[in-house]
Amino acid sequence: MLDLDPGYLIASMLVSSVGFVLFSYGKKQRRFPHTAMGLVLLVYPYFVPNVALMLTIGGVLMALLFAAVKLGV
């Protein structure tokens, strides 16, 4: 169930906004890693009930995207 805590809503909006930008960029540039990570960042906040955990997972996912791009994927 969704929480109506202001911190949760702001964190969810932040993560989803980054996901939307990544998805849009990936779709426009035809870059699969960016498109896929954008979709993941758009969806996963619905399933994480804790703000700190949500931001940690978002940071790890962004680090994975950075590593994938550096490796040439």
Q: What type of residue sits at position 52?
A: A
pLDDT digits (tens, 9 = 90+) for 11-69: 999 999 999 999 999 999 999 999 999 999 999 999 998 999 999 999 999 999 999 99
pTM: 0.85
Q: What type of residue sits at position 26?
A: G
Domain that holds residue 22: 6-70
Local confidence band at 1 (pLDDT 50, 70, 90 cut-offs): low
Q: How far apart are CA 6 and CA 70, in angstroms?
A: 36
Residue 26, pLDDT score: 95
Q: What type of residue sits at position 45?
A: P
Q: In this structure, is residue 1 part of a structural domain?
A: no
Residue 49, pLDDT score: 87
Q: In this structure, is residue 62 part of a structural domain?
A: yes
Question: What is the tally of structural domains in the chain?
Answer: 1
